[in-house]
Amino acid sequence: MTIGIGVLVSGSGSNFEAIARAVQDGRIPEAEVRLVISNRPGVGALDRAKDLGVESLVLDPALFPDRKAYSMKIASEFRKKGVSLVCLAGFLLKVESGLIQQYPGRILNIHPSLLPKHAGRGMFGHRVHESVLGERETESGCTVHVVDEEYDHGPVLMQARVPVLPGDTPETLAARVLKEEHRIYPLVVGRLVEQIRKEGNTSGRSGRG
């Protein structure tokens, strides 16, 4: 049984590529990245999808009457492709309840800090690393968590820690954290794929739905 993975992106998509390559080289066995959806055209993630042979789709939220309709369209497109697990990879929109209800416990996100620190609305990318440096933290890292209806919330599945070094800039810290993101995100995805396979329920709506 091959488990279908869907990915939501807004930018360069390096974490999407890390997951896709882990699938393609067998580190995440019996899985397939079936669809990448971006809320923005022309982003690097779409180029990565083309290079990796993964189907992609741009869905502009401005073309929908509200975010609920937008989230249900995302769910519908993932359903068409048999997606059982959704991964956020630099997706900057808040995930609405409609999509969460379609995939309870099966939407993952990675955040570039040690949650619950440096999180919440507007905290993404270099803003997170600027916050870490501004607070004079001695360590930072990244967190893979299950998505719920709050920003950067939901059960933590794995964290990786990195030191904050003297003279660090947001760019140097970001590079150190990103290396760990690319390491742990595929690990967590692989574990959840195996869990879904054991449950034998690929519908997204598990026992909670």
**Annotation marks residue 129 as catalytic:** no
> Please, which residues have CB within 8 angstroms of residue 70's CB and are 6 or more apart in sequence?
59, 61, 64, 96
Q: Is 83 within 8 Å of 6 (Cβ atoms)?
A: yes
Q: What angle do CA 9, 10, 16 make, to 5 degrees?
A: 35
Q: Which of 17, 110, 8 is nearest to 58 (CA)?
A: 8
Q: How close are the terminal C-alpha atoms of the chain, in Å?
A: 21
- Rounded distance, CA 7 to CA 5, Å? 7
Which residue among 111, 118, 129, 182 is the active-site one?
111
Give catalytic residues, as residue numbers: 111
